[in-house]
Amino acid sequence: MTGLEEQEFDFDFLFEFNQGDEGAAAAAQEHYSYAPASIGSALPLPTPHPSLPAPCHDLQTATAGLSAVPASHSAGYGAAMDGASSGYFLSATGIRPDGAPALESPRIEITSYLGLHHSSSPFFHDVEVEDVLPGAKRPTATLSLPGLEAYRDPACLSPASSLSSRSCNSEASSYESNYSFPCTSPQTSPWQSPCVSPKTTDPEDGFPRGLGACTLLGSPRHSPCPSPRASVTEESWLGARGGSRPASPCNKRKYSLNGRQAACSPHHSPTPSRHGSPRVSVTDDTWLGSTTQYTSSAIVAAINALTTDGSLDLGDGVPVKSRKTGLEHSPSVALKVEPAGEDLGAAPPAPDFAPEDFSFQHIRKGAFCEQYLSVPPHPYQWAKPKSLAPPSYVSPSLPALDWQLPSHSGPYELRIEVQPKSHHRAHYETEGSRGAVKASAGGHPVVQLHGYLENEPLTLQLFIGTADDRLLRPHAFYQVHRITGKTVSTTSHEAVLCSTKVLEIPLLPENNMRATIDCAGILKLRNSDIELRKGETDIGRKNTRVRLVFRVHIPQPSGRTLSLQVASNPIECSQRSAQELPLVEKQSADSYPVTGGKKMVLSGHNFLQDSKVIFVEKAPDGHHVWEMEAKTDRDLCKPNSLVVEIPPFRNQRITSPVQVSFYVCNGKRKRSQHQHFTYLPANVPVIKTEPSDDYEPAAACGPASQGLSPLQRTYYGQQLAAPSDPGSCLLAGFPLCPQRSTMMPTPHSSSPKLHDLSSAAYTKGIASPTHCHLGLGQPAGEVPAVQDVPRPTALHPGAPEQPPPTMLPPQ
């Protein structure tokens, strides 16, 4: 709350961070040989990388931009990163122009990358692009280009997405150590920074209320596409694509075969990691494994965090297709897409806002964008589109999208009053919009900021986040899609942050800081487009659950900005799942003594009389240690509810809580996501204690307990710490989920908790050395709500990483 506290937090955070970094760094080095030098230096790099910024189009441009901008934000981030950093950053920042060192590394990678591509040929397009660009820059530029295009813009493919989310932030988040740090980090930082930098420093000023500005710079890439789809008029796409399908598929496959490798190699060069199978990473197992890696990932994360945008993406990430599309489509894209206006990119700021926009919006855009974005004209064709890109502003100071933020702090609480339906069929770029996300009871989700008594309107940011067990972060395969039309009553504006589309919705005092979200649809990006991105480690297959993530940035008297965030319950976005797969939305109990026997009511969808409920205990390595089919009451089974008897745990003598999971199975491969459940020692009181119990045990037990992932532990701990939450924990019917239910946000077990944490809690968690060592990024996961404007960064805890073994989504 107060400044003091906040400061403390930050402080702690930093402190840890540093430690963490070191550790991480060390780890990283261990893992990656190349890393050492590069990493260390790299991080600092913050420098922008020319390439990055470049948004989109032009290398040149980008470059220019970079230098020009220097990266404010990078600085900020940088600081965060290196521990020492702060100082470090500063210097860097100030200096920063190019930070030679940093650049170098990136460049190198890039170059290679390019070269590879060319040679590899798979990505022809890229080549072309490059050609366009002046050779000199190429190295850097190259990267950017890809990214840009990738970005989707145009038509592309997954424009937005492509980079999507993660790029910036996430990567790190990504967690996976696999990454090629080398590549990534360097790139990332550099790039991003560039983006940010522009203005970075104070972005805030510009933003009035917290918006976020966006950024686009980074966006450059975005811009291009930003919405390509979003606005999408898909038409363009269609046209462009021609054989759209072919394209993607083809590409994809190719990639997988060649492309990927090719790509990898290049990229990899630096990094070995990525190994070709990014996909792998996703799986649970992977995670588990990765856990150890945290450190490295943490580093990466940090880096990413620092960098605002996801440079990586751009560079490598972009799939060939994208490029292609970009080239091909861009023209069209530019035209069409944006006309709509809204979407980003295209149009200049003005359009969107138009009448509706509020003054503040205008302010932002105009001012910010321009300020920050001063994007040079684009020489190249495709450049145009990009330039059009919207104005997003990135404010360096604002927390990266993959940072974990609390939902409440002091008097403020950002709450989802009406949750979205658990199913929403996302639309592809090739399709028309499938409408806005709706509430289960009809109507639309509603979000409200409580405790805000000022008269200044604020901006509510909305983006599509992940719904797996890992820390919440922008979803790489889905983007929010702005819906407009007569049926939409809520004004909104689309911006792109680090390749993640963000819908900005005004929160007005006259409306009690409450907003009905009837303007948000969900766009599905082709897996093939995203998976090819350079830093992308997540796999799209079966990764169809998302959460709506809302953020609000509240200016504080002290000049800092308090950022709050809440995530909705998970939303299944695939067509098939909506029709066949069982889905558990709620469970009447989150924990129970090992004796079992209690009836638990599951609410959700697609339950059948033949549905089976399987309880599973996984070892840290992901292997199933125990499986038990629970008894279900067929008579009470309804499509939306299922009564199951909690089976006795295999070990009746546990002394600390053991986390397991269960899922509903309708046959063969029709299984729901795993739901968390905690078995308590026989004599432990069920209800309230849970959190605490879990926590302790977890800590004590260590991995063995397995069930508890680091994250969870953290969460629990946090909860405990936070006074406020505790109550919530109990939720009437749903102990575990309390948060969900109560608070709202969190869908999956873990995340929710995070959100709830109070700042204090937050701090706490982070602070604990333990966490750091663990690598947890978890702690890091959450970031202090308040940030100094200037400081942007910091910490990014970045490291989100931590994947709890258990948590991983099963599927």
CA atoms within 13 A on the CB side of 126: 35
In whole angstroms, how close is the CB of 521 to DNA at the nearest point?
Answer: 7
In whole angstroms, how close is the CB of 490 to DNA at the nearest point?
Answer: 13
Contact between 554 and 204 under an 8 Å Cβ cutoff? The reply is no
In whole angstroms, how close is the CB of 416 to DNA at the nearest point?
Answer: 20
> Whose Cβ is closer to DNA: residue 28's or residue 225's?
225
> Whose Cβ is closer to DNA: residue 406's or residue 540's?
540
Question: Which helix (H) or strand (E) is 614 found in, with range?
Answer: strand 612-618
Contact between 544 and 722 under an 8 Å Cβ cutoff? The reply is no
In whole angstroms, how close is the CB of 112 to DNA at the nearest point?
Answer: 25
- DSSP per residue, 497-533: ETTEEEEEEEE-GGGTTEEE--SEEEEEPPHHHHHTS
Contact between 546 and 327 under an 8 Å Cβ cutoff? The reply is no
| DSSP secondary structure code for residue 634 in this structure | G
In whole angstroms, how close is the CB of 249 to DNA at the nearest point?
Answer: 3
| DSSP secondary structure code for residue 69 in this structure | S
Backbone angles phi, psi at 396, to 5 degrees: -55, -40
Look-up of token digits 């861009």: 330
In whole angstroms, how close is the CB of 357 to DNA at the nearest point?
Answer: 20
In whole angstroms, how close is the CB of 811 to DNA at the nearest point?
Answer: 8
Amino acid making up residue 152: R
Q: Which residues contact 206 (CB under 8 A, 6 or more apart)?
A: 199, 213, 363, 364, 367, 368, 371, 372, 393, 395
Contact between 90 and 75 under an 8 Å Cβ cutoff? The reply is yes
Cα-to-chain-centroid distance, residue 222: 16
> Whose Cβ is closer to DNA: residue 278's or residue 804's?
278
d(CA 232, CA 243): 17
Which residues of the shown chain bind DNA in the complex (CB under 7 A)? 233, 238, 243-250, 252-253, 256, 279, 425, 427-436, 483, 485, 524, 526-528, 540-544, 574-576, 579, 668-669
Give the CA angle between residues 782, 785, 786 to the nearest 5°: 140
> Whose Cβ is closer to DNA: residue 434's or residue 533's?
434
Report the SS3 class of residue 615.
strand
In whole angstroms, how close is the CB of 751 to DNA at the nearest point?
Answer: 21
> Whose Cβ is closer to DNA: residue 573's or residue 737's?
573
Distances in whole angstroms, Cα of residue 346 to Cα of each of 154, 354, 392, 551 = 10, 14, 11, 24
In whole angstroms, how close is the CB of 579 to DNA at the nearest point?
Answer: 6
In whole angstroms, how close is the CB of 438 to DNA at the nearest point?
Answer: 7
> Whose Cβ is closer to DNA: residue 526's or residue 586's?
526
Contact between 227 and 162 under an 8 Å Cβ cutoff? The reply is no
> Whose Cβ is closer to DNA: residue 236's or residue 714's?
236
Instruction: Report the DSSP beta bridge partners of residue 481.
Output: 521
> Whose Cβ is closer to DNA: residue 116's or residue 155's?
155
In whole angstroms, how close is the CB of 657 to DNA at the nearest point?
Answer: 31
d(CA 23, CA 670): 42
If 0-12 CB within 10 Å is exposed, 13-18 middle and 19+ buried, where does residue 455 land?
Answer: exposed
> Whose Cβ is closer to DNA: residue 527's or residue 806's?
527
Contact between 237 and 158 under an 8 Å Cβ cutoff? The reply is no
> Whose Cβ is closer to DNA: residue 449's or residue 530's?
530
> Whose Cβ is closer to DNA: residue 31's or residue 252's?
252
In whole angstroms, how close is the CB of 280 to DNA at the nearest point?
Answer: 9
In whole angstroms, how close is the CB of 241 to DNA at the nearest point?
Answer: 7
Distances in whole angstroms, Cα of residue 68 to Cα of each of 63, 218, 375, 766 = 8, 14, 10, 35
- Tally Cβ neighbours within 10 Å of residue 667: 12
Q: Which residues contact 696 (CB under 8 A, 6 or more apart)?
A: 656
In whole angstroms, how close is the CB of 262 to DNA at the nearest point?
Answer: 15
> Whose Cβ is closer to DNA: residue 491's or residue 728's?
491
d(CA 346, CA 95): 33
In whole angstroms, how close is the CB of 512 to DNA at the nearest point?
Answer: 27
> Whose Cβ is closer to DNA: residue 333's or residue 507's?
333
Contact between 488 and 240 under an 8 Å Cβ cutoff? The reply is no
> Whose Cβ is closer to DNA: residue 485's or residue 723's?
485
H-state helical runs in 730-768:
738, 750-756, 759-767
* CA nearest neighbour of 195 among 129, 230, 144, 137: 144
Amino acid making up residue 678: T
> Whose Cβ is closer to DNA: residue 207's or residue 663's?
663
